[in-house]
Amino acid sequence: MRASRSFARRLLGAAVFAAVVAGARAPGAEPTADDVEPAQYLEESLTHQDPEQEALIRDLVDQAVEARLAGIPRPRYIPATDIAPPKGLLFLKTNPRQGEFPFGMALGGYMQLRWFEFARDATSWTDNASITRPINNINTFNINRFLLSFHGHVVDERLVYNFALFGTTNVGLRSGVVPIGLAGWKFSDAATVGVGVTQVPGTREWIESTQWTVGVDRSMANTFFRPGFSPGAAAIGSLGDGTLHYQAGVWNAIDGGTAGVLRRGTSMAWAGNTWWEPFGPFGLGVSDMEHHDSPVVRLGTSGVYALTAALPIAGANPEDTIVRLSDGTPIAEPNALGPNSLLERYVYRLASVDAAWKYRGVGLAVEYYFRMLDNFAGQGTFERSSIFDHGGMAYVSWCFVPRTYEVYARSSAVTGPYGTGQEYGGGLNWYLKESRQARLTLEALTMHRNPAQNFLYPYRAGYTGTAIQTQLVVAF
């Protein structure tokens, strides 16, 4: 940008200088060869040796250039605040009141760079279908997540859009980039209604961006219970005095990557998430790196209902997960629910409650999950007519140097008729330049019979051992 403006200044300067010289020529004087000699830049045009006149002309050029450039829209960056994420690099926002076409666009996103090492405490595990699987040590570097987002409005300031490209190197350098986003009509702060590919808002921790997590990533329990991304229609807004917030809608399935396409029938996934912030805006994440002078509280609940296709593998979106038993067995695996059984579809119900609190650098957060799976249909005889699993997660953090250094502890657990898995650990956050937009995290986690799996997270189904992780997050 600086180089292009310098180039423009030089071109404009040459033009302005020519105008200044032409204006200084005596009336009626014939142009000489020197008057019409072409000059590309101002420096080539200044052939006289009078320093005072030279300085005067340069001042006139600078003033003329600034006047002309002032009329050209300039991109500007809008960073994060204590209560709102960054709006990004605002390329353009027209003024319809001056007859301009309504349009706005900003660029934002984030990147996670992670080193992940897992040291196993066992060499194998056996799932409920009697399949024995190895437990491997892991040592990898990856761009764990990257997201590039374009957002703004078009045609009308109320017709808003947010389109993003999301990907990872965790599943290979040649893995696809996933498109996600929403376009809709903003009636007011109380309601924006739109369609697109978004998260199915089944839990609190799930709908919070991984840019603002306390630790390296979301919890094991949340990874086990939550739904995924799917095409759908949603309403988002804040009610009353802006303290009550909600997300709700209908989606193709709890995992639209594959289940939303291969589901049988026309049944969809219905989901809603609401939270209350009675003492003012809660801010980003559950960390209190900002050191609130007075306590802030967030209370919430969520729920999902869906007739779901049973799939043995996740879809193409790296955030997709599949439904598993509490020992980590994929529910659609042959013999998972009994000898010679094969589940084809079932009803998925999920509910969660959550609470969080921040004050003077201390942050606390808990969420508890309840999941019921029933109405099984498929082949063979199922050993159960329904499965009820539950579990929870908890975080406690202390930013002992305001906006800079923070320690935290975390734990989560899942329990059900097929076993119990748990994790516990903690780490250190360093907020570079006292900003949430650049954070270095060091973390250690011990897990026992982990039932969750997702390659973006440190979780592999059935694993027991210790995970050491270092991550740099840059948000823009």
Are residue 330 and residue 198 in the same domain, yes or no? yes
Are residue 7 and residue 53 in the same domain, yes or no? yes
Helix (H) or strand (E) holding 390: strand 386-401
Q: State the pLDDT at residue 288.
A: 98
Q: Along the 476 residues of the chain, how does pLDDT read in single tens digits?
A: 444 445 445 544 555 444 444 444 444 445 454 544 454 444 455 555 567 777 777 777 777 767 766 666 678 999 999 999 999 999 999 999 989 999 999 999 999 999 999 999 999 999 999 999 999 999 999 999 999 999 999 999 999 999 999 999 998 887 778 899 999 999 999 999 999 999 999 999 999 999 999 999 999 999 999 999 999 999 999 998 899 999 999 999 998 766 666 667 788 999 999 999 999 999 999 999 999 999 999 999 999 999 988 877 776 778 888 999 999 999 999 999 999 999 999 999 999 999 999 999 999 999 999 999 999 999 999 999 999 999 999 999 999 999 999 999 999 999 999 999 999 999 999 999 999 999 999 999 999 999 999 999 999 999 999 999 999 999 99
Are residue 431 and residue 322 in the same domain, yes or no? yes
Q: Which of 26, 52, 69 is the last residue of a domain?
A: 69
Are residue 81 and residue 120 in the same domain, yes or no? yes
Cβ contacts of 97 within 8 Å, gap of 6 or more: none
Are residue 438 and residue 458 in the same domain, yes or no? yes
Q: Report the relative pairing of strands 438-448 and 465-475 from DSSP bridges.
A: antiparallel
C-alpha 201/C-alpha 284 separation (Å) is 17
Are residue 104 and residue 61 in the same domain, yes or no? no
Q: Which of 53, 69, 85 is the last residue of a domain?
A: 69
In the beta sheet, which residues pair with residue 245?
Answer: 238, 275
Are residue 274 and residue 218 in the same domain, yes or no? yes
Q: Nearest-CA neighbor of 73 among 109, 41, 105, 107?
A: 105
Q: Report the relative pairing of strands 178-188 and 124-126 from DSSP bridges.
A: unpaired
Q: State the pLDDT at residue 390.
A: 98
Domain count for the chain = 2
Are residue 56 and residue 122 in the same domain, yes or no? no
Q: Nearest-CA neighbor of 238 among 419, 411, 409, 83?
A: 83
Q: State the pLDDT at residue 62.
A: 77
List the alpha helices (DSSP H) in 216-304: 220-225, 259-262
Q: Which of 22, 42, 69 is the last residue of a domain?
A: 69
Can you give the CATH number for the domain in which 374 is found? 2.40.160.10
Are residue 303 and residue 224 in the same domain, yes or no? yes
Q: State the pLDDT at residue 134.
A: 97
**Contact status, residue 241 vs residue 260, Cβ threshold 8 Å:** no
Q: State the pLDDT at residue 39.
A: 47
C-alpha 158/C-alpha 462 separation (Å) is 48
**Three-state DSSP class for residue 61:** helix
Token code pair at residue 11: 């071109």
Are residue 32 and residue 139 in the same domain, yes or no? no
Are residue 130 and residue 233 in the same domain, yes or no? yes
Range of the domain at 46: 2-69
Q: Report the relative pairing of strands 156-167 and 132-134 from DSSP bridges.
A: unpaired
Q: State the pLDDT at residue 45.
A: 52
C-alpha 371/C-alpha 367 separation (Å) is 13
Helix (H) or strand (E) holding 23: helix 2-24
* Positive or negative: CA dihedral 370, 255, 413, 337: positive
Are residue 141 and residue 34 in the same domain, yes or no? no
Number of H helices, E strands in the chain: 7, 20
Q: State the pLDDT at residue 309.
A: 86
